[in-house]
Amino acid sequence: MTAYWRRMDRTAMTGSLVNWPTRLDSYGGCGTSVYAVWPEAADEPMLVCSRGLLLHALLQEEPVGDPGPWAAAFPDLDDNDPEAAERSTGLLAALLLGTTGASWALREPDTDPATPITEAFADFWTAGEQDLTAAGRAVVDALTQSYGRPPVFLTVQDT
């Protein structure tokens, strides 16, 4: 049996929770990780009792895509203070959905498929709920039901 998760290349993909976009162009890089996080809410009834554990995430790599959805988890993302910018708010849960040795790129609309991706690059691929496998959806749905809110999906690019 091959330990795919030990290889550091485009074909190394962990788990079966994410449908990785292998149809897209590879853009080099060192890899991509996808997380689902459930930030605390001000009206959280679970906080009436002591949680016993305060969970924060610290960004170590570059998040990609529209930062708008991350505001609930990383409200200080653009702060000039690196300690504040890279630290999340309190989280109920943080789940690594998968990692891969690949970095996939989206092309500018209407570019010729023969154009090198370096000339047609629009952005990096980012994961969302639509990219979950059936198993991934079951895991995320169970936690979503437990915490009473959907997760924030975070795609992190190893730079």
pLDDT in tens, 53-66: 888 888 888 788 88
Residue 17 within any structural domain of the chain: no
- Residue burial 3-33, b: 16+ Cβ < 10 Å; e: rest: eeeeeeebebbbbebbebbeebbebebebbb
Residue 12 within any structural domain of the chain: no
Residue 27 within any structural domain of the chain: yes
**DSSP 8-state assignment for residue 109:** T
Residue 53 within any structural domain of the chain: yes
Residue 38 within any structural domain of the chain: yes
Residue 107 within any structural domain of the chain: no
Count how many domains the chain has: 1
Average pLDDT of the residues in 58-83: 78
Average pLDDT, the chain: 83
Does residue 3 register a pLDDT over 50? no
Domain that holds residue 126: 23-101+115-157
* Confidence label for 29 from pLDDT (cuts 50, 70 and 90): low
